[in-house]
């Protein structure tokens, strides 16, 4: 019975009604680190909302697709802070969490590809989302040139990555 009801609903909103005129006037879909929208997915469970990113929600030319790679990789919230260390990711308790970071990056890439995102706005300095500059693995707030695991995978698949601070008001 439930399936039938859904069927009736779907005849009222046809997929063709939602797909626009073939794509040219469709808003651009941009993947975004969920924490920048105020979602409490960060390692410390705190939110880190960015007003400029949030303002993009009002822009009819873009649709934001929020993703948290670390949660998609199976890590809990809150979780022990982690930093990249060479080609591994190690948390502050000394545990190797590289597998979860890689899994999260792959799932985030799947989301980006499902939605056809060509650009992503990702949280700066994160071991997943950081692009260009990340923490150096010493847990002392020191940074080094480098990319988070997800940012790196995105770049390797032709998705442009921007940090939140490059957005203009």
Task: Evaluate whether 127 touches 149 at the Cβ level (below 8 Å).
Answer: yes
The region of 11-19, 123-131, 134-142, 154-162 touching ligand SF4 under the rule CB under 6 A is 123-131
Q: What's the full length of the chain, in residues?
A: 169
Q: Which of 89, 55, 65, 38 is nearest to 159 (CA)?
A: 65
Does 72 contact ligand SF4 by CB under 6 A? no
The region of 81-89, 125-133, 134-142, 153-161 touching ligand SF4 under the rule CB under 6 A is 125-133
Does 65 contact ligand SF4 by CB under 6 A? no
Alpha helices in the chain (DSSP H): 2-12, 15-18, 51-55, 69-72, 98-114, 149-156
Q: What is the pattern of x (binds ligand SF4, CB under 6 A) and - over residues 74-113? A: ----------------------------------------
Candidates 53, 64, 65, 68; binder of ligand SF4 (CB under 6 A) is 68
Tokens, residue 15: 């997929």
Output 15 or 40, the one with its CB closest to ligand SF4: 40
Q: What is the DSSP string of 70-111?
A: HHHTT--SS---EEEETTEEEETTS-B-HHHHHHHHHHHHHH
Residue ranges binding ligand SF4 (CB under 6 A):
33-35, 41-42, 68-70, 123, 126, 128-129
């Amino acid at each position: 019975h439930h399936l039938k009801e859904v069927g009736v609903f779907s005849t009222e909103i046809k997929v063709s009604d939602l797909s626009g005129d073939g794509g040219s006037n469709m808003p651009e879909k941009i993947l975004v680190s969920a924490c920048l929208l105020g979602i409490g997915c960060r390692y410390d469970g705190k939110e880190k909302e960015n007003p400029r990113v949030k303002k993009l929600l009002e822009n009819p030319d873009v649709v934001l697709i929020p993703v948290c790679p670390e949660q998609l990789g199976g890590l809990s919230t809150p979780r022990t802070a982690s930093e990249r260390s060479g080609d591994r990711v190690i948390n502050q308790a000394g545990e190797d969490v590289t597998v979860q970071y890689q899994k999260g990056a792959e799932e985030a890439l799947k989301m980006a590809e499902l939605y056809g995102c060509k650009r992503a706005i990702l949280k700066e300095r994160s071991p997943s989302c950081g692009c260009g500059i990340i923490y150096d693995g010493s847990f002392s707030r020191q940074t080094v040139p480098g990319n988070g695991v997800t940012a790196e995978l995105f770049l390797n698949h032709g998705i442009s990555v921007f940090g939140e601070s490059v957005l203009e008001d």
